[in-house]
Amino acid sequence: MKKSYSICFVLLLAISCASSSALLKDENPTKNFVKCLNRYSADISDLVYTQESSNFTQTLLSTINNLRFAKPETPKPLVIVRPVSESQIQTVIFCSRKHDLQMRIRSGGHSFEGLSYVSPLPFVILDIINLKTFSFDAETETAWIGSGLTNGELYYRIGQKSDTLGFPSGLWANVGVGGILSGGGYGMLMRKYGLAADHVIDARLIDANGRILDRKSMGEDWFWAIRGGGGGSFGVVLSWKVKLVPVPKIITVFKVFRTIEQNLTNTFFRYQAVAPKFPKELEIKADGQCILSDASPRADKKTMIFLFEAMYLGGADQLLSVMQEQLPELGVIREDCFEVNFLQAGVYFSGFPLFTPPEILLNLTILPRPAFKSNNDYTKEPIPVEGLEGIWDLMYKLPPQKATLQFTPYGGRMDEISESALPFPYRAGTWFKFNMFAETDTDEADRIEWIRSITTYLTPYVTSNPRSSYVNYVNLWLGTNNLQGPTSYQQASKWGKRYFRNNFDRLVRIKTMVDPGNFFRHEQSIPPLSL
């Protein structure tokens, strides 16, 4: 810690002593930025990628997970830095400030709007993919986890230590832990244990001045803000100390498909009514698409199909008893159910065949990376049958399998946590989170317009005043900050209240205290109050 603070002091002294001419707009920002890096971190050169580097494009694209932002015309960073030490991150922050460059922080690269790797202004990427700490304490059932870990790496490492501990993080194996925790984070354990961020008990971050802080030194307000207030606003979180959660040795999973011709509409309406009331141990999410089927009575042979994916913390017989009592319409039978451990369930819900060796979770490139536009909403009651039929009609307007609907039930533990416990406010009374995607590999303008049309259609069925949204499914349609200069509270509230409700006000106050110069910023970062 002494070394970190001494480096911080040197960097702060350097920036405070810099002449005004050095802080003017650089004629060659890339060259001067790299020169600054090498001056203050002698061992950083092999971790720096400029646009002239032979592997720049490969490094940039490696974790761009929305290919809508991988086009040749998309703005590119001047430099990508993949540090391996805290002092190197301090240097990147210092040099970005000195040369007036925006710094985007990339963990897993899953920002739906590319905010971790795209900026309309000159920028650099601080890519924290190498921060893969995993330090497990069996006695306290806690772990320090680096922000560069992915879900898959985290689940794999927990599974190597224990078959009775888990963590309520996300589903897809290649999503970065840093981004998940920054926005709240949810997965198949949400109804039992709440959000991933609910289980963060300490953290280490670097602020805009290069200081390394933990929970005690940053204080409870700052610590509250980083657990759900969105990434890229409050500092570079290096690692998180999390409390792991108990899971049984036997977990039951199933995946079943149902189509319109199999009474999907009525079954889905019933599913909406009961899923948030299931026992906490049961989570069933549902994903829907339009497909072609010979069984469809339509002339174009289109129909709707939903995949119902379940995880139950217990044996198959117990799960079947719950299903027969509360959702017999789904028709789940014993042959649909498989008993696995928590690690194998993580493999299954990442989209791999059930008994795939868990080492697949360590492969960062195997999962598909489409180009897409999305929007998300929350509901407080079931969408009626006529509303569902209207959604199906809209789905039929796109080619088969080019749009996806995702429904995630709330309830359970989420009903027991205050909406102000963390910045994430969607707790008691929230029924479902509803997400919709359209692939934009072709006909991009038409498919983006389709997202607008289904968003408009859903207005009577979703939350209002404000119409709510999840910050980890960021959507710039809600509003943006000014590219340069201050952003007013009123302007930022247009999107901030939709993500955070009344918690937005506290986030703004904290931002004003901890980063008044707004160094950590992007199109929807929390703004400080302007004087």
User: Is the confidence at residue 56, as pLDDT, over 80?
Assistant: yes
CATH class assigned to 251-339+367-463: alpha beta
CA distance 333 to 256: 10
pLDDT in tens, 380-439: 999 999 999 999 999 999 999 999 999 999 999 999 999 999 999 999 999 999 999 999
Beta strands in 170-278 (DSSP E): 200-206, 212-213, 236-243, 245-246, 251-259
pLDDT confidence band for 530 (50 / 70 / 90): confident
pLDDT in tens, 81-100: 999 999 999 999 999 999 99
Average pLDDT of 45-64?
97
Sorted by where each begins, the domain ranges of the chain are 2-127, 134-246, 251-339+367-463
Ramachandran quadrant class, 3 (left: phi over 0; alpha: psi -120 to 50; beta: rest): alpha
5 is catalytic: no
Average pLDDT of 115-142?
98
* Residue listed under structure tokens 């759900």: 228
Share of the chain above pLDDT 70, in %: 95
Average pLDDT of 9-22?
45
CA distance 405 to 379: 14
User: Is the confidence at residue 25, as pLDDT, over 90?
Assistant: no
pLDDT confidence band for 15 (50 / 70 / 90): very low
CA distance 480 to 523: 5
Continuous H helices in 316-443 = 316-326, 342-348, 385-395
* Residue listed under structure tokens 């540090």: 83
Q: Which of 410, 426, 473, 499 is catalytic?
A: 473
Based on C-alpha coordinates, what's the Rg of the chain? Answer: 23
CA distance 121 to 124: 10
Q: Tell me yes or no: is domain 134-246 CATH 3.30.465.10.
A: yes
Q: Mean of the per-residue pLDDT values for the chain?
A: 95
pLDDT confidence band for 2 (50 / 70 / 90): very low
CATH, range 2-127: 3.30.43.10
Give buried/exposed letters for 196-221 (b at 16+ CB in 10 A, else e): bbbbbeebbbbbbbbbbbebeebeee
CA distance 528 to 517: 8
Supply 309's token pair.
């994916």
Average pLDDT of 111-127?
97
CB–CB of 439/447 below 8 Å?
yes
User: Is the confidence at residue 188, as pLDDT, over 60?
Assistant: yes
CB–CB of 481/487 below 8 Å?
yes
* Helix (H) and strand (E) counts in the chain: 16, 18
Question: Could you tell me which residue, 95 or 13, shows the higher pLDDT?
Answer: 95
CB–CB of 215/223 below 8 Å?
yes
Average pLDDT of 59-80?
96
